[in-house]
């Protein structure tokens, strides 16, 4: 493939179509939906061969910065940069910023492979052959997209109609087609020459930025300014908000690919899914003889063609067909598996109601750079949480104006600092933190530290926290 290609991985999506497991605080790309590692980690693994790829650039938002860094570190994939979008501006601005960053690192001849972080792909010989073809075409100035051979009349994907062969393994693009209804999708498949629009691209940064400058100048200027005025923050690059916010909220298909004369498509047949619905997750999951896919504890009787995913509760199902049952700590979704595209509309309805808005955004378990916490019980003037702190990690040095806390260590050993005094608290021991004290919790051990925290006071919101020292750069 010549000079190693630079992967540019888009990891800022919120993935609400896989609610209640995927939510804005912990979206689907960071969840292990198809195996033991997350979709984001699977994407990183595909671009980890140094003979093919340079270290990847990841584009995400500030809320996901630590999980991106942590998940990359877990599988040992070094990153060239983690670019933080200050506001959401769709794919044109994100890809343009990635291209500008890559150009500044490697020059205008750099070829980038733009990848979504939440797709399930089988990287077989056909996949790598298509990558080789696309990289060669991109190095000569083409803006290359990948068209997936359809396996059915899917209505959740856009389509690409291919044109004449170009002689280099790519083809012209006749037109892009919006997500069709079922009848139109059937007609296109019957006619032939239509492929699913994968949202993967291979681009020479010079050619792409030239087209961006010509066809979407506001996006180009915003990306240039955002990278030029970016600020380093620990291991992250914070794109300049004033510049980035001027970019139009538009997809790269609309802004560039539907207008450019440089676009080519590589038709491919490898296994690909954007996992945009529970039905799509079921299709790529291991299934039993009754075509049921089960993750977690479940008992199924006389049940067929169904998906069950349970985090903690034991799910029992009798005499059903074509159902999806997704059980999390605080919400359960039950519906027809074949109609699971409708989850997105349900999430919109839940967001519109104040009493249900929270369950579309956050889990009972929240993850932090040092570990995280699970909410156990809430009441008037008290709440109970379970904290889990990774070995060697520590929380910020902090204080609260409105609450006191009691910590009980249930696993591991805790190093607790209260107003400058350090105390070791071991399993089955507890310690009291009075209101207003300056305190810190740390795990000096080799195993996970688990602590039951009981908060009492007049206000228990997460925003009642004054960070005095924080190694993660949080205010």
* Average pLDDT taken over every residue of the chain: 92
Whether 255 shows a pLDDT value over 60: the answer reads: yes
Q: What is the pLDDT of residue 470?
A: 79
Could you read off the pLDDT of 5-35 as tens digits, one per residue?
A: 999 999 988 777 899 999 887 889 998 887 7
pLDDT digits over 341-400, tens only? Answer: 889 899 999 989 988 888 887 777 877 889 989 888 888 899 999 999 999 999 999 999
Confidence band (pLDDT; 50, 70, 90) for 462? Answer: confident
pLDDT category, 227, cuts 50, 70, 90? Answer: very high
pLDDT band at 461 (very low <50, low <70, confident <90, very high): confident
pLDDT value of residue 475: 57
User: Which H or E run contains 424?
Assistant: strand 421-425
- Global pTM value: 0.84
Interval 429-446: pLDDT, tens: 999 999 999 999 999 999
Percent share of the chain, pLDDT over 70: 99
Q: Which of 107-111, 288-292, 452-456, 459-463 has the lowest mean pLDDT?
A: 459-463
Q: How many CB atoms lie within 10 A of CB 351?
A: 16
Nearest CA to 96 out of 228, 276, 193 is that of 228
pLDDT tens digits, one per residue of 187-204: 999 999 999 999 999 999
Please tell me the distance from the alpha carbon of residue 7 to that of residue 137, in angstroms, as a whole number: 16
State CA 9 to chain mean position distance.
Answer: 10
Give the N- to C-terminal CA distance of the chain in Å, as an integer: 45
Distance of alpha carbon 96 from alpha carbon 109, whole angstroms:
15
- Crossing angle of the two packed helices 90-106 and 217-228, in degrees rounded to 10: 50
């Amino acid at each position: 493939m010549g000079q190693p290609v630079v992967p540019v991985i888009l990891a800022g999506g919120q993935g609400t179509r896989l609610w209640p497991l995927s939510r804005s605080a912990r979206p689907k790309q960071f969840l292990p939906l198809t195996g033991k590692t997350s979709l984001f980690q699977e994407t990183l693994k595909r671009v980890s061969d140094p003979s093919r790829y340079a270290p990847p650039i990841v584009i995400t938002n500030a809320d996901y910065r630590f999980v991106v860094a942590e998940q990359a570190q877990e599988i040992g994939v070094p990153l060239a940069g983690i670019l933080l979008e200050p506001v959401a501006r769709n794919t044109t601005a994100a890809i343009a910023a990635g291209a500008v960053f890559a150009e500044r690192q490697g020059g205008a001849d750099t070829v980038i492979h733009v990848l979504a972080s939440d797709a399930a792909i089988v990287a077989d010989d056909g996949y790598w052959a298509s990558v080789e073809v696309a990289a060669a075409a991109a190095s000569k100035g083409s803006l290359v997209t990948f068209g997936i051979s359809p396996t059915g009349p899917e209505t959740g994907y856009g389509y690409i109609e291919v044109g004449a062969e170009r002689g280099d393994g790519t083809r012209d693009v006749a037109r892009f087609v919006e997500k069709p209804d079922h009848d139109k999708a059937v007609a296109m498949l019957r006619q032939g020459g239509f492929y699913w629009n994968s949202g993967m691209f291979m681009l020479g940064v010079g050619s792409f930025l030239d087209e961006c400058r010509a066809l979407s100048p506001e996006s180009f200027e915003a990306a240039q300014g955002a990278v030029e005025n970016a600020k380093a923050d620990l291991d992250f690059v914070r794109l300049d908000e004033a510049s980035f916010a001027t970019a139009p909220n538009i997809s790269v298909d609309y802004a560039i690919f539907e207008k450019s004369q440089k676009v080519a498509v590589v038709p491919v047949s490898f296994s690909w899914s954007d996992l945009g619905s529970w039905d799509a997750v079921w299709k790529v999951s291991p299934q039993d003889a009754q075509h049921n896919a089960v993750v977690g504890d479940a008992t199924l009787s006389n049940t067929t063609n169904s998906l069950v995913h349970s985090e903690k509760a034991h799910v029992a199902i009798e005499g059903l067909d074509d159902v999806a049952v997704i059980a999390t700590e605080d919400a359960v979704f039950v519906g027809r598996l074949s109609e699971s595209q409708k989850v997105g509309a349900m999430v919109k309805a839940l967001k519109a109601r104040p009493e249900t808005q929270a369950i579309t955004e956050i889990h009972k378990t929240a993850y932090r750079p040092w570990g995280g916490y699970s909410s156990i019980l809430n009441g008037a003037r008290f709440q109970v949480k379970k904290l889990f702190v990774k070995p060697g990690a520590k929380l910020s040095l902090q204080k609260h104006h409105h609450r006191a806390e009691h910590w009980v260590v249930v696993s591991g050993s805790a190093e607790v600092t209260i107003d400058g005094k350090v105390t070791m608290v071991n399993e089955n021991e507890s310690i009291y933190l009075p209101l207003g004290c300056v305190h810190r919790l740390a795990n000096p051990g080799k195993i996970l530290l688990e602590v039951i925290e009981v908060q009492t006071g007049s206000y228990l919101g997460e925003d009642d926290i004054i960070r005095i020292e924080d190694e993660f750069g949080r205010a």
